[in-house]
Structure 1
Amino acid sequence: MAKKSTRRLLGSLWGYLLLAAVIWLWFLPSIGPGVIAALSGFVVLYSLFQAPMWCCAENRDGGLCRNNAYGLLLGCHFRQHKWQKLKMAVRQQYWGKLGRRVFSGVGGQAATFSAFAGMLSACVATATLIAK
């Protein structure tokens, strides 16, 4: 039986394990592209809304918040920070600022890479599914 801390760590990082499984599934000819597209969609959702990273919302003093947050689009537990990154993603003039904030930590870089890899995998799997 795994220790409680190991189960908690695996529970918070399940999307990265799923990304590794999706990459591995691309090399198995017996798995259809529909399964790969669905799993890739889960990887993207994990990256956007559940991957552990820093909040990086702007504080009142102009600094960046270093509280724990979940996903590329959500902030920390403060009410003002919860939707600040999602609002920045919707407004085009803030995309550069959002990109700099997301890439400020390793968690954000890993989540961004897995989101792009998941989207690419989902698009290729869907195109393969349509072409068959």
Structure 2
Amino acid sequence: MVGRKTKRKLGNLWGYLLLVAVAFLWPLPSVEPGIIAILSAFVVLYCLFQAPTWCCATTRDNGFCRNNAHGILLGCHFRQHKWQKVKMAFREQALTKAGGRMLGGIGGKAASLSAVAGTVSAGAATITLLVK
């Protein structure tokens, strides 16, 4: 029987499990591209708003926050950090700074690469759906 901690951990990482499922569904000819596009979109949403990452917002001493956050776009439990990360996504200089910080940890790398893979998969599935 699966323990409560294992269920919670799998519940927090459902987007990565879905990415693996999408990777296994691509070579199957019986699966419609629309289903793959929808599942890939869920992977991207998971990476942007729920994947476990570090906050990486700028602190008062010009360091970066090491608190746990949810997703690439959301900050930690501090209200200012949540808004700061959303603002960083839309400013050109801050975007490169935030990208460098986000890719500093394994959680950020996993979320970023999964978001890119999900976006590519969703785009390819949509194009396949439109061409058919």
Q: TM-score range by the shorter chain?
A: over 0.9
- Is the 1:51–1:70 Cα contact (8 Å) retained in structure 2? yes
TM-score by length of 1: 0.98
The residue type equivalent to 1:66 in the other structure is: R
Match of 2:21 in 1: 21
Structural mapping, 1:37-52, within 5 Å: 37-52=37-52
Match of 1:131 in 2: 131
**Is 1:83 matched with 2:48?**
no
Gaps of 5+ in 1: none
Provide the secondary structure at the position in 2 that maps to 1:81: helix
Q: CA–CA distance in 1 between the matches of 2:88 and 2:124?
A: 28
* Percent of aligned pairs sharing the same letter: 64
Gaps of 5+ in 2: none
Provide the secondary structure at the position in 2 that maps to 1:59: coil
Residue 63 of structure 1: how far off its partner (Å): 1.1
Structural mapping, 1:26-105, within 5 Å: 26-105=26-105
TM-score by length of 2: 0.98
Q: CA–CA distance in 2 between the matches of 1:95 and 1:64?
A: 14
Q: CA–CA distance in 2 between the matches of 1:90 and 1:117?
A: 21
The residue type equivalent to 1:110 in the other structure is: A
The residue type equivalent to 1:40 in the other structure is: S
After superposition, give the CA deviation of every residue in 1:10-37 in whole Å (9 maximum; x if it has no partner). Answer: 0000000000000000011110000000
Number of equivalenced pairs = 132
Over 3 Å off, 4+ runs: none
Q: CA–CA distance in 2 between the matches of 1:123 and 1:105?
A: 27
